[in-house]
């Protein structure tokens, strides 16, 4: 039995979306709830899951198309035994605005699955530039990266004219850094069996964002080790109290709190570089991103106003955002506006690593695994708990001495937190 899959309602007042990617192809056998396409709108980027399973026999849209809610995306053929009943159910808001829609009854669960379900897809900085789908498509057609276009509209909104102005600039600039396109990879199957898997949206965005960072930010990494023996004692002593409040007191929360203090002490690290206007943007708020490892890839939710929150509040908040990141429940707002980032890999292991500065930020703190080490003090070796830290920073704004001072300050305060009282 052939059934059409239509674009469900994506969000309130959104009537169409721009088709970023098709995640399946004709002939694929898909399962119910499997993501089939990725849609971008002004408000969000969203995976659209298949409301039914089956074999795809026709795909009626193309990447780059603007698709309207209710438009047929693809046709699926499935075994009628999987779908026992197709009923009209009153009151379910669905593919056609304001009208009743067909609801597929699953033979086993008896539970109705409306055709409108869609999972919010997390946003990363690559998606956060304000531009309509048609403007994004225009930029894409010209081979331009929308993230590099300066918007002149309200709130930096990008118009077609902005894209054209950027295109002109790119064409006229002999030193243009506009990305020229990806090189073909060789046919690896010549040397052995291979599998092909489409890149997920998160993977693609991480790839694009790190390439952007790598190409535009000259990065230096400063390493140090902090003696956290006393902090560890405090952490273990306070763990239960924080747990009662719903948080988990780990080094991430402590470093979050400490980073907020460091950013106030060293405002350059809380700034952004605006090369186009040859200015530095100093921010008077302290928002810090936390790198979270999820099954789908890296996500960086942002904790806002870190300096105004207690350690317990921060521990609870980290728990919440990490869980929401792992369950793909983060909102686009929670991914925006970070000034600095912490990437703690110490829960996994490692002695050091060099994190990459996020675009529009100037520094990121990498944290590796703490451990007890012999430290030479007052004529003898004593066991101390040492935490390896690495600070990557943007050399356009931050000089080596600044980077060293920042990290040394952090290490000193970790060793003797009372120093911040002075």
Contact set with ligand CAO (CB under 6 A): 250-252, 290-293, 298, 318, 322, 343-347, 355, 367, 369-370, 387
Q: Least Å distance between CB 159 and ligand CAO? A: 34
Residue 62 annotated among the catalytic residues of the structure? no
From the candidates 62, 121, 166, 395, give the one annotated as an active-site residue: 395
CB of residue 354 vs ligand CAO: minimum separation in angstroms? Answer: 10
Minimum distance of ligand CAO from residue 310's CB (angstroms) = 16
For ligand CAO, the closer CB: 252 or 287:
252
At its nearest, how many Å lie between ligand CAO and the CB of residue 231? 11
140/248 with CB nearer ligand CAO? 248
CB of 171 to ligand CAO, least distance (A): 35
Cβ–Cβ under 8 Å, residues 96 and 70:
yes
Q: How far is the CB of 20 from ligand CAO (least distance, A)?
A: 23
| Active site members | 395
């Amino acid at each position: 039995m052939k059934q059409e899959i239509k674009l469900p309602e994506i969000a309130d007042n959104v009537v169409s979306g721009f088709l970023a990617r098709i995640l399946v192809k004709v002939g694929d056998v898909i399962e119910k709830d499997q993501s089939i396409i990725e849609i971008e709108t002004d408000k969000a980027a969203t995976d659209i899951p298949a409301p039914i399973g089956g074999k795809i026999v026709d795909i009626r849209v193309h990447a780059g198309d603007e698709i309207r809610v209710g438009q047929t995306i693809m046709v699926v053929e499935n075994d009628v035994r999987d779908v026992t009943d197709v009923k009209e159910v009153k009151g379910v808001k669905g593919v056609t605005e304001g009208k009743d829609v067909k609801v597929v009854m699953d033979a086993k669960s008896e539970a109705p699955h409306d055709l409108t379900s869609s999972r919010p897809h997390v946003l990363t900085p690559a998606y956060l530039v304000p531009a309509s789908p048609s403007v994004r498509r225009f930029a894409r057609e010209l081979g331009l990266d929308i993230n590099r276009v300066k918007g002149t509209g309200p709130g930096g909104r990008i118009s077609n004219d902005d894209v054209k102005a950027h295109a002109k600039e790119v064409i006229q600039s002999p030193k243009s850094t506009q990305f020229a396109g990806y090189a073909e990879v060789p046919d690896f199957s010549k040397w052995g069996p291979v599998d092909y898997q489409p890149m997920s949206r998160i993977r693609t965005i991480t790839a694009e964002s790190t390439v952007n960072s790598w190409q535009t930010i000259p990065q230096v990494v400063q390493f140090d080790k902090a003696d956290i023996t006393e902090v560890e004692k405090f952490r273990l002593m306070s763990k239960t109290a924080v747990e009662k409040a719903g948080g988990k007191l780990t080094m991430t929360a402590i470093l979050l709190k400490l980073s907020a203090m460091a950013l106030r002490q060293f405002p350059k690290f809380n700034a952004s570089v605006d090369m186009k206007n040859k200015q530095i943007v100093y921010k008077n708020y302290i928002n810090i991103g936390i790198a979270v490892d999820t099954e789908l890839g890296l996500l960086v939710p942002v904790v806002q106003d870190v300096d105004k929150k207690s350690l317990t509040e921060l521990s609870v908040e980290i728990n919440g955002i990490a869980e929401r990141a792992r369950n793909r429940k983060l909102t686009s707002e929670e991914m925006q506006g970070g000034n600095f980032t912490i990437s703690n890999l110490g829960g996994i292991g490692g002695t050091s690593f060099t994190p990459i500065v996020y675009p529009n930020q100037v520094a990121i703190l990498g944290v590796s695994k703490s451990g007890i080490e012999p430290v030479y003090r007052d004529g003898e070796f004593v066991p101390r708990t040492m935490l390896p830290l690495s600070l990557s920073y943007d050399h356009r704004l931050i000089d080596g001495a600044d980077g060293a001072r920042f990290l040394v300050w952090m290490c000193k305060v970790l060793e003797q937190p009372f120093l911040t009282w002075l």
